[in-house]
Structure 1
Amino acid sequence: MATSVFRTKAAQRQIFQRYRAGVSWRVIVWWGFWLALFAIGLLLSQWQWQRAQEKKAIQQAEQRAVSLFNPVTQPPALAQVTISGVFEEQHSLWLDNRILAGQVGVALLTPLIDVNGRWWLVDRGFVATAGSRKNPPFPAPGDIDLQVVTAVWQPLENEDVAFVLDDALHNQRIQTLDLKFWPRASEGFAGVLHLQVDSQGLGARQVWWQPMQISVERHLGYSLQWMLLAFLALGFAVAGRKAMTTAARE
C-alpha cells in the first residue's frame, strides 16, 4: 500500500512538473511575441519622429534659401538658381516611374551648358504617360540663343541614388537620378536643377519634384499612431495573460 501511494505521489509530481514546464514555455512565447510587437511599435514611432525633425530642418533650409545667378561654386541645397545657357537637347533622357497627383509618368532631364561653360543637369518637368512604355516626344532642338531658367538646386549624394535591380539605360529611360548617364557630368556639380520657370514655360510638362513628399504633421501623426499601437499591444498582452491565468485557476 505504501509503495502504491509513493508511486502515485511521484506520478503526480511528474505531471505537475510537466505542467509547469508547459506553462513556462507558453508564458515565454506569449510575452516574447507581445513584447516584440511593443518594441517594433516604439522603434517605428521613433523613426517617424526623426523623419519629422528632418523635414523641419528642410523647411528651415527652404526659408533660408538663397537666390543665385550663374553661380561658379556649388549652390547650397534648395537654393533658387537662375542659369543662362544652352540646352543640349540631343542628350535628353527620361526619368522613369515618377508620380504626380496619382498619375504615372516620366520627367525630362536635359543637360544645359551655362555662359561659363559649366555643365548642369536640369529637370524640365513631368509628363503623364498612363503607364505606357512609349516615350513622349523630346522637345525640338532649339537655336543657339541663350535660355534663362530658374530652378531649385538638389545636391545628389550617394544615398540619393536609389537601389534598383536594373539601372541601365533602356529606351532613353533611366530609373534613378544618376549622373553616370552623362559623360560630361564631371564638368559640373553633383546635383540637379528642378525647373520652376524658363523662357518658354513648361508647356505640357509640370513641376513634380518637392523637397518634402510627406509633411511634418503627417510624420508626427504616424509617430503617435505607432506609439499608441505599441502600448495597445502591451495592454492586450497584460489583459490577455490575466484572463488566461484566471481561466486556468478555475
Structure 2
Amino acid sequence: MKRFRPGVLPTLVVFALLPLLVWLGFWQLGRGEEKRQMLASYAERRASPPVAVDLLPGVADPAYRHVQLRGTFDAEHTVLLDNSTRDGKAGVELIQPFHDQPSGLWLMVNRGWLPWPDRRLPAQFDTPAQRYILDAWVYVAPGATFQLHPDARSERWPKLITALDPAAVWSELHRDGYAHELRLEAGPVAYRTDWPVVAMGPEKHVGYAVQWFAMATALFGLYLYLGFNQTATARHKKNKETPHGDHHESSQHV
C-alpha cells in the first residue's frame, strides 16, 4: 500500500491556499444570492403603486420605490455625471433639480444618458419649461456617498462631476431637498434610461464560484497526486541506488 508523503512545503502551500479558494467560491455564491434578492426587490417595487412624494423622506428603505412627480425642472443648475459610456461611446448622465409642486420638495432627477463625443464643445441637451407629470424611481447609491468633485464647486453651471451627492448640491443651492437621486422612466423628457440594476448578474457570480471551486479541487488533486507519487518515486530511486553486490555477498555469506 502506498504511503502518503507530500512534503512540508507543498502541505504548507495547500493549507494556505485551499481554504482561501473555497472561501472565495462561497463568497461568490453569497454575492449571487444578494443580486437575486436585489433584482426581485427591484421588480416588485417598480410594479407597486407609487409612493407619495411628501411621504418619501420618511420611507426607511426607499430603494427602487416608484414615484410620480408633478412639477418643473430647474434649468439653471444642471449636473453632468461623467465617466458613463453606452455601447462603447463616451457620454454623461443629465441630472437636474426638479421642484415637485404638490409637496414643495426639491429632488435631483436623472433624465438619462446622452452622448458627449467632443469635450471641446458643450454637452447638447434641452430643458422643458412647462410643468410635467413624470414617473421615476429612487436610486440609492451602494456604500458610502461620494462627495462632489472639487471642480464642481466652481460658480459655473452645468457642473461636471464624477459622483453625485444630492445633499452637497442642496447645501450649495440652499434648498431643502431629497437625499437620494431619482431616475426617470422612459418618456418625453427622458434621454437614454437603460440603467443596469446590478453591474454583474447573479449568473456571473455563480460562474466565478465554479471557477474558484474548480481551482480548489485541482489544487487538492495535485496535492494528493504528488504526495503518493513522490513516495513511489523515492522508493524506486532508493532501490536503484542499492548496490547489487551487497545482495550477492549476503546470500553467499548465509
TM-score by length of 2: 0.73
Q: Give 1:155 shift.
A: 2.7
In 2: Cα distance, 1:38 partner to 1:97 partner: 38
The one-letter code matched in structure 2 to 1:210 is P
Q: How many matched pairs? A: 218
Give the aligned partner of residue 67 of structure 1: 49
Q: Give 1:78 shift.
A: 1.0
CA contact (8 A) 1:68 1:80 kept: yes
The structure 1 segments of at least 4 consecutive aligned residues displaced by more than 6 Å after TM superposition are: none
CA contact (8 A) 1:94 1:109 kept: yes
Identical-pair percentage: 23
Give the aligned partner of residue 181 of structure 1: 169
1:189–1:30 distance in 2 versus 1, CA, 3 Å = same
CA contact (8 A) 2:116 2:123 kept: no
Q: Give 1:160 shift.
A: 4.6
In 2: Cα distance, 1:155 partner to 1:186 partner: 20
1:240–1:59 distance in 2 versus 1, CA, 3 Å = same
Give the aligned partner of residue 172 of structure 1: 159
CA contact (8 A) 1:100 1:208 kept: no
Give the aligned partner of residue 17 of structure 1: none
In 1: Cα distance, 2:121 partner to 2:70 partner: 28
The one-letter code matched in structure 1 to 2:151 is L
Give the aligned partner of residue 230 of structure 1: 216
1:61–1:141 distance in 2 versus 1, CA, 3 Å = closer
Give the aligned partner of residue 145 of structure 2: 161
Give the aligned partner of residue 129 of structure 1: 116
Give the aligned partner of residue 95 of structure 2: 109
In 2: Cα distance, 1:135 partner to 1:148 partner: 32
Unaligned 5+ runs, structure 2: 153-157, 238-254
The one-letter code matched in structure 1 to 2:180 is G
Root-mean-square deviation (CA, aligned residues, Å) is 2.9
Give the aligned partner of residue 150 of structure 1: 135
Give the aligned partner of residue 78 of structure 1: 64
Instruction: Report the 3-state secondary structure (helix = DSSP H, G, I; strand = E; otherwise coil) of the residue aligned with 1:212.
Output: coil
Give the aligned partner of residue 28 of structure 2: 48
Instruction: Report the 3-state secondary structure (helix = DSSP H, G, I; strand = E; otherwise coil) of the residue aligned with 2:224.
Output: helix
The one-letter code matched in structure 2 to 1:38 is L
In 2: Cα distance, 1:206 partner to 1:174 partner: 19
CA contact (8 A) 2:94 2:110 kept: yes
Q: Give 1:40 shift.
A: 2.3
TM-score by length of 1: 0.74
CA contact (8 A) 2:51 2:65 kept: no
Instruction: Report the 3-state secondary structure (helix = DSSP H, G, I; strand = E; otherwise coil) of the residue aligned with 2:24.
Output: helix
Residue number among 77, 89, 94 corresponding to 2:80 in the alignment: 94
In 2: Cα distance, 1:134 partner to 1:89 partner: 21
In 1: Cα distance, 2:120 partner to 2:55 partner: 38
1:141–1:123 distance in 2 versus 1, CA, 3 Å = closer
Q: Give 1:241 shift.
A: 3.5
1:230–1:138 distance in 2 versus 1, CA, 3 Å = same
